[in-house]
Amino acid sequence: MHEMGIAEGILASAIEGAGGASAKRINSVNVTIGELTQVMEDALQFAWEALRTGTIAEGAELNVTMLGARSKCADCGHEWFHDRYSGARCPSCESYVVLLLQGREMKIDSIDID
Ligand SMILES: [Zn+2]
């Protein structure tokens, strides 16, 4: 379950960030995850709740924003949302020269601390 490793990374970064701001506790952590990372939000929440115990993030909510995969065609400029199988070819002009605009994100947007 790779969500456990991701949750560990988020928690470590949040605690590090909060430590730098000499926080007493972390109230919430906001993250953005692209759908192409194949992260399951439920599994990530489960891992988060298991890992945060005993840390300054013990009561912290993990707010996840899932981003759908979106690509842009380099030939005709068409932009479309897709899953991980249908992003290789432009549905408008059938070009294979496409650029992934979003879908592989895995980042912490903000941390709310006291
Ligand atoms: Zn196109």
Find out whether 101 and 70 touch, Cβ atoms under 8 Å: yes
Per-residue pLDDT tens listing for the chain (114 residues): 689 999 999 999 999 999 888 899 999 999 999 999 999 999 999 999 999 999 999 999 999 999 999 999 999 999 999 998 888 899 999 999 999 999 999 999 999 999
Query: Residue 61 is encoded by which pair of tokens?
Result: 């909510």
pTM of the model: 0.86
> Nearest CA to 95 among 64, 65, 66, 72?
72
What per-residue string of b and e applies to 60-77 under the rule 16 or more CB within 10 Å gives b?
bebebeebebbbebeeee
- What is the share, in percent, of the chain residues with pLDDT greater than 90? 89
From the CA of 18, how far away is ligand 1's center (Å)?
45
Find out whether 75 and 97 touch, Cβ atoms under 8 Å: yes
Q: Architecture of 2-69+103-113 per CATH?
A: 2-Layer Sandwich (3.30)
Domain boundaries, the chain: 2-69+103-113
From the CA of 2, how far away is ligand 1's center (Å)?
34
From the CA of 74, how far away is ligand 1's center (Å)?
7
The DSSP output letter for 35 is G
